Amino acid sequence: PLLGDFVLSMPRGATIVYPKDAAMIIGVADVFPGAKVIEAGVGSGALSISLLRAIGKDGKLCSFERREDFAENAKSNITNYFGGAPANWSLDIGSVQEKEFSESFDRVILDMLAPWECIELSAKVLRPGGVFMAYVATTTQLSATAEALKEDGHFTEPESFESMLRGWHHEGLAVR
């Protein structure tokens, strides 16, 4: 199956990051082959799969999920997709902001309720020029995250956007 087919049909407990959003996250965050990425809020593992594909075998993905049931589901989905657990992937159950890191990362990508709680950690672990990306569902989360980034002082002006995808029906000359 195509990635989109797999993601849309895999077992889930949490709402997934849909393929259109995963593509935007990968592109806007400039996730590249060989990148070292922290991901928090794994949910069902849909974004993790896209991140692992983008970083390739030379990259590293450190994933964090607070809920054990979500983590187990994600682990199963990711293992099923790749035919085994990728060697360059780790999954910790717990809060990312409680973890101590001894290395720097290229990207921090968050899909969680309160990404502003991870800004201090992100400032510490991101290499110079690294990218912080938060995927949020509400404008209140967006506002709180943007204001916290501004207050922190370690980041450039945050950029925010919404992406929408609208399918078209086409039959002969009738396109709508």
Closest CA to 105 of 135, 127, 136: 127
Specify the pairing of strand 170-171 against strand 174-175. Answer: antiparallel
Per-residue pLDDT of the chain in tens (176 residues, 90 and over written 9): 899 999 999 998 888 899 999 999 999 999 999 999 999 999 999 999 999 999 999 999 999 999 999 999 999 999 999 999 999 999 999 999 999 999 999 999 999 999 999 999 999 999 999 999 999 999 999 999 999 999 999 999 999 999 888 889 999 888 98
pLDDT recorded at residue 154: 95
d(CA 113, CA 79): 26
What's the chain's Rg over C-alpha atoms?
A: 17
Residue 37 has what pLDDT? Answer: 98
**pLDDT for the residue numbered 141:** 97
**Alpha-carbon distances, residue 78 vs 60, 65, 73, 83 (angstroms):** 15, 14, 9, 8
Amino acid identity of residue 134, one-letter, is: A
| The pLDDT of residue 22 | 96
pLDDT at 165: 87
Give the pTM: 0.93
Q: Which two tokens stand for residue 134?
A: 């938060």
CA atoms within 13 A on the CB side of 40: 24
- pLDDT at site 28: 96
pLDDT at 13 (0 to 100): 85
